[in-house]
Amino acid sequence: MSDAARPMTRPMTSALKLLRLLDAVGESDEPVRLADLARELGASRSEVHRHLVTLVTAGWMEKLPDGAYQLTVKAAHLGNAALQHAGFGERVTALLVDLAEETGQSVCLAVLDDDATRVIKRAEPGTATRVTLALGHRMSLLYGATGRALAAFAPADVVAELRARGVRVPEESELAEIRRVGYALTPPGGVDGVAVIASPVPARAGAPKVALCVVGPAGRFDPLSVRERLAAAVRRLARLTASVDGGVASWEA
């Protein structure tokens, strides 16, 4: 039988519905609720609930204490792979490498991961002395510079919910100062042997979910000495993501 005569393989209707649900969740700036998703998709609550349970079981979504659902960082990893396939990831890597060479220190991108931040991309300078944050490394919202930077720009209700769950977050006065200056530093008592400065990358809508940071050995690296270079790199990253989003500066993790 020729290829032309072969019956066309039909797509799986259930899979298409599941992917449509993921699209709807991805377009929301906040965690979604079952009733709202069912109404938006024109589907029954029981059907949408089955899809959500499937995604939670597979690790793509998580159910929050208030009953809402949100994407996990697994989606961020897939998005990062898609950027790599499109050649965009190479441009982000080049930007990180440039910043690492300019500062002579390690550089990383970290994404907000519920009660911490997680490193998703890094670059090292061409020098013998360096401090590396491994891919996947998680940092606290209290003692990590990336966590402090993203917590400062998170909605007040998100910070309140974290505190209600017992997650340690900087005091509001500290968060206000970070918002004022636009960057966060590793505080006294933070990660031993490491000095970090981090700035959030503006998102298309809602609060930033990704932070860019420069990491060096404590005692030999003054984080404030690179704050202008870091700010310039954040602006370059915003322009770079704007070219992908049709002119809207963003980085959606």
What are the tens digits of pLDDT across the range 204-236? 666 788 899 999 988 889 999 999 999 999 998
CATH code, 233: 3.30.450.40
Judge if 80 and 205 occupy the same domain. yes
The domain boundary, picked from 46, 70, 94, lies at 70
Domain check: are 236 and 111 in the same one? yes
Residue 108 in domain: yes
Q: Count the domains in the chain.
A: 2
pLDDT of residue 84: 59
CATH number assigned to the domain comprising residue 30:
1.10.10.10
Please check whether residues 77 and 194 belong to one and the same domain: yes
Question: Please, which pLDDT band fits residue 140 given cuts at 50, 70 and 90?
Answer: confident
Q: In the predicted model, is pLDDT for residue 37 greater than 70?
A: yes
CA distance 157 to 55: 25
Higher pLDDT, 116 or 100: 100
Beta pairing partners, 107: 123, 214
Average pLDDT on 177-206 reads 84
Choice among 66-75, 91-100, 133-142, 218-227 with the minimum mean pLDDT: 133-142
What is the C-alpha to C-alpha distance for residues 189 and 220, in angstroms, rounded to an integer?
Answer: 17
> Quick one: average pLDDT of 117-123?
86
- The interaxial angle of helices 45-58 and 13-26, nearest 10 deg, is 80
Does 2 have pLDDT greater than 90? no
Q: What is the pLDDT of residue 243?
A: 55
Say if 34 falls within a structural domain: yes
Return d(Cα 231, Cα 205) in angstroms, integer: 20
pLDDT at residue 87, as a whole number: 53
Task: Specify the pLDDT at position 71.
Answer: 84
For residues 63 and 110, membership in a common domain is answered with no
Which of 2-11, 87-96, 117-126, 147-156 shows the highest mean pLDDT? 147-156
What was the pLDDT predicted at 145?
A: 93
Domain span including residue 185: 73-244
Q: Is residue 250 included in any domain, yes or no?
A: no
Sequence-distant (6+) residues with CB within 8 A of 231 are 182, 183, 199
Is pLDDT of 89 > 80?
A: no
**Do 123 and 60 share a structural domain?**
no
* Res. 252 pLDDT band, cuts 50 70 90: very low
The yes-or-no verdict on residue 115 having pLDDT over 60 is yes
- Residues 196 and 107: their CA atoms lie apart, in Å, by 9
pLDDT recorded at residue 179: 95
How far apart CA 178 and CA 181 sit, in angstroms, is: 5
Q: Has residue 44 got a pLDDT over 60?
A: yes
**Average pLDDT value for residue range 123-145:** 73
Is 132 or 155 the better-scoring residue by pLDDT? Answer: 155
pLDDT above 80 for 132? no
Higher-pLDDT residue of 250 and 24 is: 24
Radius of gyration of the chain (CA): 20
104 and 228 share a domain? yes
**Residue 28 sits in the same domain as residue 46:** yes
